[in-house]
C-alpha cells in the first residue's frame, strides 16, 4: 500500500505556496537582462524597417560625400586633423617638464608654472583656432575640441600623479626605513612594474594618452591577453552602420519646426516630437562610445580596468546618475578636483558645486565654440541639475525616482539641443521654417 | 611624518583595478530594473503624445457607444452575458456530482461518466451558442468562450483533486494507522483548514471559481490581510485608459492593408508595419491581465500564491518561454495532463507533443469559433513552436537565444493575427483595400 507521503507527491494535492509576483516591488526581483535584449531587438527591427522604407522612398540617401562634408568644407584643407596632430606638442611638453622635475633641474614651482601655462594653452589655442579658421565645420570643431579637452584632463592627471610620486620619494628619503616598498600596482605578472622616474618615457606617455582613462597611474592593471573574438565583436558594433541611419534620424528630428506653432505653446511643441530620436541617439552614442569603442581600445592596449560606466540605468537620484554614467570623468573629478579641495578644507557642498560648475563650463565650451554661438544653454542645463537633484532626492525614491531621472534625460537633453539648433537655424538661415 | 600607506590613500596613486564592463556578458551582471522603468516611461510618453495628437487632429475619438458596440449588437439582447451566467449550471453540476461521490451514492465510474459529460458540454454548448446566435459579436464570443475554457480547466482540476482525496481516504481506511494525518495545506493560522468531504460547499467552490488559479487545492495559502494601497494601485493600472488608446492603435495596425502590395512580396509587407503595435498590445495585455488584474483579484480574495508568471523575458529557449509566461495554465498542464500521462508510461517526447496539441486546439477554438472562420492559423502557429524550439535550443544560447525568442514573439504573433484579420476582411468586406 502507498503511504500518504507518496500520495501527496504523486497527486500534488497542494500545489500553491505563499509568494509575490516578480514584477511587484515586494518581490525584490531585479533580473531584467531580457528587457535589455528586447530593447536592442526593437531598435534593430525598427531601424531595419526605417532603412527599407527610406531606400524604397528615396533610394540610398547617404552618400559618402555627404558624410565627409560633415567634417570637411574644402577637401584640400583638413583643419581638425591638423589641430589634432599639433596636440603632440603639448603632450611632449608635459613629458619634458616632468623629466626636468624628476632630476631636479627645475624647481617644483617653475615646473608648476610651466604646467599651468601648457595646460591653459591647451584650452585657448584650439578654441582660438576653431573660431578663427573659417573652413572648420561644427562637427570637426567638436571632435578636435573634444580631443583637446580629454588631453587636458589627462595631462593634468599626469602632472598631479608625478608630483605625488616625488612627494612619496621625498618622504621615503627622509624616514629611510624599508617599510615603504611601494605596492601601488595591480599589474599582471607578465608586465614588469616600473617605479617613479622610470615611468617618464615616450612609450609610457603615449600608452596613457591612448588608454581609455583620464587618471594617470604608474602601472596600469593589464589584461592577460587580447581576446580576438571580443575585439571583433566590439569592432563590428563600432562600425555597424551607425552613420547610415544617423543622418535621416537627425533630419527627422528637425521636423518639429514645421509643426504649426500656434497649436501648442512653443516650449511644449518643440521638445515633444523630437525627444525620442534625440534620446535614442544619446543612448546609442553611449553604447557606441562607452561600451564598444572604449572596450575595443582597452582590449587592443590590454588595458585591464573596463569600468567605463556603472549601473546608471538603475539610478534613483540625479546625483547617482551623474556619478555613474561616465566613470572616467567622474574618477578624474574625484581624484584631481574634489578630494584635493576637501583636503584644503573646503566644505562638501561648495566642493560639489565647484565640480558642477567646472563640468558646466566644459559642456558649454564644447558646444559654443564649434557652433560659434555663446548662448549658455548647456551651462544652464548643467546647473539646472542641482535643483533637480535636490527635488528628486527630497520627494522621490525607488522606481519613482528612477522614472524621474529617465524623464529628465528624455525631456531635458532635447530641450538643450533644440535651443542650439533653433538658434543656429535662425542665425544661418534667418528663420526656423 | 606620513606613512606610505597614508600617502597611497591620500593620493590614490593606484585607482584602477582589473575588471569587466557591466554590459559585457563576462561580467555576469543582470540588474536592469531601470531598463524596465525606461520602457514604461517611453510607452507612457509616446502614448501621451499620440493621445494629444489624436485629440488635436480628430477630437475625442472613442465614444462609450463604440466600446459598448464591441460587445453588443442589439442593446436589448446580451448573448455573451447570458452565456456566462448559464455557466453556473455546469459549476453546480460538478459540485453535486462530487457530493454524491463523496457519500458513495453513485459509483466512481458513474461519477466519471457524469463529469466527462458535464465537461464536454462545457466546450460544445457555448461554441454552438456562439455559432448559432447572430447577435453575438466577435469580442463577446471570445470573452464568453474564454470564460468557459477557464471554467472547463478549473472543473477538470476540481474533479481530479477530489478523486485523489478519496483515494487517499481509502488508503487511510485500509491501513488504519495514525501516521496519515494530512498536512497538505499552507494556509495561515487565521483560516481553519478543512479536510476532504468538508470542502464540498458552495462557498469553497465559488472561491475556487473566482481565485486566479486553475488548479484546485483543499486549503489555498492565504495572505494575512488585504493591503489597501496595493489594491488601489492594481485597480488604477487596470482602469487607467487601456481602452482610450487601444482602439486607435488597433485601427492604426490595420493600415498596412493600404500599402501598395506590389512594392513588397505580401508576406514581408504584411507583418512588418504592424508588428510593433501588435507586439506592444500583447505586452500591455500581459501586464494588464497577469500582473494587474490577477493580483487585484488575488488581493481581494486574500489568495496567497501570486506566481502568475515567471521571468519569461529572460528565456533563452522557446520551451522556457512557454513554461514560464503563463504559470496557471502551465501548472494545470503539468499537474493534470503531463504528469498523469507520464504515470501511465507514455514517453516524455510524446507527452510534450500532446500538451502542445491540446494547447494548439484551445488556441484555435478561442479564435475560430467567435470569428466563425476555420482557418487553422492559430493551430499551425502553435505547432510551429515545436521545430522553432528545436532550432533555437540546438543552435542558439545565452543572449542570442533570448533575442531569437523575442524576434519570434515580435514577428510570429502578428503574422498569425494578420492572417485572421486579412481573411475576416475578405469575407466581410470582399477586399483587403
By the CB < 8 Å criterion, does B1 face chain A? yes
By the CB < 8 Å criterion, does A259 face chain B? no
Q: B30–A32: do the CB atoms touch at under 8 Å?
A: yes
Q: What percent of chain B has pLDDT over 70?
A: 77
Q: Phi, psi at residue B214, to the nearest 5°?
A: -105, -10
**Which pLDDT score, from 0 to 100, does residue A209 have?**
94
Q: A32–B339: do the CB atoms touch at under 8 Å?
A: no
pLDDT for residue B116 is more than 80: yes
- Name the one residue in this structure whose C-alpha cell is 500581459: B286
**How far, in Å, CA of A180 to CA of A188, rounded?**
21
Q: B8–A184: do the CB atoms touch at under 8 Å?
A: yes
* Alpha carbon separation from A116 to A90, A111, A225, A354, B65 (Å, rounded): 12, 9, 38, 19, 75
Contact residues on chain A for B22, CB-CB shorter than 8 A: 307, 309-311
pLDDT for residue A6 is more than 80: no
Q: A16–B310: do the CB atoms touch at under 8 Å?
A: no
- Name the one residue in this structure whose C-alpha cell is 559654443: A368
By the CB < 8 Å criterion, does A176 face chain B? no
pLDDT for residue B182 is more than 50: no
**How far, in Å, CA of B370 to CA of B364, rounded?**
10
Residue A264 lies in a domain: no
pTM of this prediction? 0.76
Give tens-digit pLDDT for A215-258.
998 888 888 888 898 898 888 887 765 544 454 555 554 444 44
**Which pLDDT score, from 0 to 100, does residue B279 have?**
80
ipTM: 0.73
**How far, in Å, CA of A364 to CA of A376, rounded?**
6
Q: What would the mean pLDDT of B373-378 be, rounded to a whole number?
A: 82
pLDDT for residue B376 is more than 90: no
Q: How many helices (DSSP H) and strands (DSSP E) are in chain A?
A: 19, 0
Q: What would the mean pLDDT of B175-190 be, rounded to a whole number?
A: 48
Residue A104 lies in a domain: yes
By the CB < 8 Å criterion, does A331 face chain B? yes
pLDDT for residue B225 is more than 80: yes
Neighbours of B390 (CB within 10 A): 13
**How far, in Å, CA of B382 to CA of B326, rounded?**
15
Ranges of beta strands (E only) in A87-208 are none
Confidence class of residue A276 from pLDDT cuts 50, 70 and 90? low
By the CB < 8 Å criterion, does B410 face chain A? yes
Computed over every residue of chain B, the mean pLDDT equals 79
The residue among B37 and A187 whose pLDDT is bigger is: B37
Neighbours of B1 (CB within 10 A): 6
Q: Phi, psi at residue A184, to the nearest 5°?
A: -80, 20
Q: What would the mean pLDDT of B341-356 be, rounded to a whole number?
A: 90
The conformation of residue B194, written as its DSSP 8-state character, comes to P
Q: B221–A18: do the CB atoms touch at under 8 Å?
A: yes
Residue of B nearest to A169 (CA): B4
Contacts for A118 with CB less than 8 Å, ≥ 6 apart: A90, A93, A94, A97, A155
Residue B96 lies in a domain: yes
Confidence class of residue B65 from pLDDT cuts 50, 70 and 90? low
Look at residue B222 and give its three-state secondary structure.
Answer: strand
pLDDT for residue A76 is more than 90: no
Residue of B nearest to A36 (CA): B35
- A370: cell is 564649434
- Name the one residue in this structure whose C-alpha cell is 555663446: A374
The conformation of residue A314, written as its DSSP 8-state character, comes to G
Closest CA to A46 of A248, A184, A182: A248
Q: Phi, psi at residue A19, to the nearest 5°?
A: -160, 160
pLDDT for residue A34 is more than 90: no
Confidence class of residue B265 from pLDDT cuts 50, 70 and 90? very low
Contact residues on chain A for B40, CB-CB shorter than 8 A: 403
Contact residues on chain A for B186, CB-CB shorter than 8 A: 14, 16-18
* Closest chain A C-alpha to B15 CA, distance in angstroms: 7
Contact residues on chain A for B179, CB-CB shorter than 8 A: 3-4
pLDDT for residue A200 is more than 80: yes
Distance of CA A400 to the CA centre of its chain: 25
Closest CA to A71 of A276, A285, A370: A370
Q: Phi, psi at residue B423, to the nearest 5°?
A: -65, -35
* Alpha carbon separation from B327 to A231, B152, B392 (Å, rounded): 41, 17, 22
Look at residue B24 and give its three-state secondary structure.
Answer: coil
**How far, in Å, CA of A5 to CA of A163, rounded?**
75
Catalytic site includes residue B363:
yes
Q: A276–B46: do the CB atoms touch at under 8 Å?
A: yes
Residue A170 lies in a domain: yes
Provide the domain limits for residue A105: 74-176+208-217
Which of B17-26, B268-277, B319-328, B363-372 is predicted with the least confidence, judged by mean pLDDT? Answer: B268-277
Q: B16–A46: do the CB atoms touch at under 8 Å?
A: no
Q: What percent of chain A has pLDDT over 70?
A: 77
Confidence class of residue B41 from pLDDT cuts 50, 70 and 90? confident
Closest CA to A362 of A146, A213, A101: A146
* Alpha carbon separation from B391 to A221, B384, B405, B414 (Å, rounded): 42, 11, 11, 21
Residue of B nearest to A195 (CA): B13
Residue A370 lies in a domain: no
Which of B52-66, B74-88, B331-345 is predicted with the least confidence, judged by mean pLDDT? Answer: B52-66
Which residue in the set A38, A171, A314 is minimally distant from B406, CB to CB?
Answer: A38
**Which pLDDT score, from 0 to 100, does residue A183 have?**
44
The conformation of residue A72, written as its DSSP 8-state character, comes to B
Residue B112 lies in a domain: yes
- Do A388 and A405 form a contact (C-beta atoms < 8 A)? no
Residue of B nearest to A295 (CA): B21
pLDDT for residue A182 is more than 50: no
The residue among A34 and A213 whose pLDDT is bigger is: A213
Residue A99 lies in a domain: yes
Q: A19–B399: do the CB atoms touch at under 8 Å?
A: no
If residue B118 lies in a helix (H) or strand (E), which one and from where to where? helix B108-132
Neighbours of A93 (CB within 10 A): 18
pLDDT for residue A3 is more than 80: no
Please, what's the largest Cα pairwise distance for chain B? 98
Which residue in the set A21, A36, A403 is minimally distant from B37, CB to CB?
Answer: A403
Catalytic residue numbers of A read 363
Confidence class of residue A43 from pLDDT cuts 50, 70 and 90? confident
**Which pLDDT score, from 0 to 100, does residue A157 have?**
94
pLDDT for residue B260 is more than 60: no
pLDDT for residue B298 is more than 90: yes
Q: B310–A410: do the CB atoms touch at under 8 Å?
A: no
- B261: cell is 502590395
Contact residues on chain A for B16, CB-CB shorter than 8 A: 186, 213, 215, 217, 220-221, 304-305
Q: How many domains are there within chain B?
A: 1
**DSSP characters for A287-307?**
IIIIIIIHHHHHHHTTB-B--
Confidence class of residue B125 from pLDDT cuts 50, 70 and 90? very high
Confidence class of residue A162 from pLDDT cuts 50, 70 and 90? very high
Work out the angle at residue B242's Cα, subtended by the Cα atoms of residues B236 and B247, and round it to the nearest 5 degrees. 165
The residue among A75 and B270 whose pLDDT is bigger is: A75
* Alpha carbon separation from A226 to A30, A186, A309, B82 (Å, rounded): 33, 18, 21, 71
- Do A312 and A290 form a contact (C-beta atoms < 8 A)? no
Contact residues on chain B for A17, CB-CB shorter than 8 A: 186, 221, 304-305, 307
Residue A89 lies in a domain: yes
The residue among B60 and A355 whose pLDDT is bigger is: A355
**Which pLDDT score, from 0 to 100, does residue B61 have?**
54
* Alpha carbon separation from B161 to B103, B298, B304 (Å, rounded): 16, 21, 19
Contact residues on chain A for B231, CB-CB shorter than 8 A: none
Confidence class of residue B242 from pLDDT cuts 50, 70 and 90? low
Q: A295–B180: do the CB atoms touch at under 8 Å?
A: no
**How far, in Å, CA of A403 to CA of A118, rounded?**
44
Confidence class of residue B259 from pLDDT cuts 50, 70 and 90? very low
Closest CA to B420 of B192, B254, B232: B254
Amino acid at each position: 500500500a502507498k503511504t500518504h507521503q507518496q500520495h501527496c507527491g504523486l497527486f500534488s494535492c497542494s500545489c500553491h505556496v505563499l509568494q509575490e509576483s516578480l514584477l511587484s516591488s515586494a518581490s525584490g526581483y531585479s533580473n531584467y537582462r531580457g528587457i535589455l535584449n528586447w530593447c536592442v531587438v526593437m531598435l534593430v527591427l525598427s531601424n531595419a524597417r526605417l532603412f527599407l522604407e527610406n531606400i524604397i522612398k528615396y533610394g540610398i540617401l547617404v552618400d559618402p560625400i555627404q558624410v565627409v562634408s560633415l567634417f570637411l568644407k574644402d577637401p584640400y584643407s583638413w583643419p581638425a586633423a591638423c589641430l589634432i596632430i599639433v596636440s603632440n606638442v603639448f603632450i611632449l611638453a608635459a613629458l619634458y617638464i616632468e623629466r626636468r622635475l624628476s632630476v631636479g633641474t627645475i624647481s617644483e614651482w617653475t615646473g608648476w608654472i610651466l604646467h599651468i601655462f601648457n595646460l591653459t594653452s591647451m584650452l585657448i589655442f584650439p578654441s582660438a583656432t576653431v573660431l578663427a579658421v573659417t573652413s572648420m565645420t561644427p562637427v570637426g570643431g567638436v571632435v578636435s575640441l573634444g580631443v583637446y579637452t580629454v588631453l587636458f584632463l589627462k595631462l593634468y592627471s599626469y602632472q598631479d600623479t608625478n608630483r605625488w610620486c616625488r612627494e612619496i620619494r621625498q618622504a621615503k628619503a627622509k624616514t629611510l626605513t624599508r617599510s615603504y616598498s611601494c605596492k601601488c600596482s595591480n599589474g599582471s605578472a607578465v608586465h614588469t612594474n616600473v617605479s617613479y622616474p622610470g615611468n617618464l618615457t615616450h612609450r609610457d606617455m603615449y600608452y596613457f594618452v591612448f588608454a581609455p582613462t583620464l587618471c594617470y597611474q604608474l602601472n596600469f592593471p593589464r589584461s592577460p591577453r587580447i581576446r580576438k573574438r571580443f575585439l571583433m565583436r566590439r569592432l563590428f558594433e563600432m562600425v555597424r552602420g551607425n552613420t547610415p541611419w544617423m543622418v535621416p534620424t537627425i533630419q527627422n528630428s528637425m521636423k518639429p519646426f514645421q509643426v504649426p506653432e500656434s497649436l501648442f505653446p512653443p516650449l511644449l511643441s518643440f521638445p515633444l516630437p523630437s525627444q525620442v530620436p534625440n534620446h535614442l541617439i544619446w543612448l546609442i552614442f553611449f553604447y557606441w562610445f562607452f561600451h564598444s569603442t572604449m572596450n575595443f581600445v582597452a582590449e587592443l592596449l590590454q588595458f585591464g580596468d573596463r569600468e567605463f560606466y556603472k549601473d546608471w540605468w538603475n539610478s534613483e537620484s540625479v546625483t547617482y546618475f551623474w556619478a555613474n554614467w561616465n566613470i572616467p570623468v567622474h574618477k578624474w573629478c574625484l581624484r584631481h578636483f574634489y578630494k584635493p579641495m576637501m583636503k584644503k578644507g573646503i566644505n562638501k557642498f561648495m566642493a560639489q558645486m565647484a565640480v558642477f560648475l567646472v563640468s558646466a563650463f566644459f559642456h558649454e565650451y564644447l558646444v559654443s565654440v564649434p557652433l560659434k554661438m555663446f548662448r549658455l544653454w548647456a551651462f544652464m542645463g548643467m546647473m539646472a541639475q542641482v535643483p533637480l537633484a535636490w527635488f528628486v532626492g527630497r520627494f522621490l525614491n525607488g522606481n519613482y525616482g528612477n522614472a524621474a531621472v529617465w524623464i529628465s534625460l528624455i525631456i531635458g537633453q532635447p530641450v538643450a539641443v533644440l535651443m542650439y539648433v533653433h538658434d543656429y537655424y535662425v542665425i544661418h538661415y534667418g528663420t526656423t521654417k
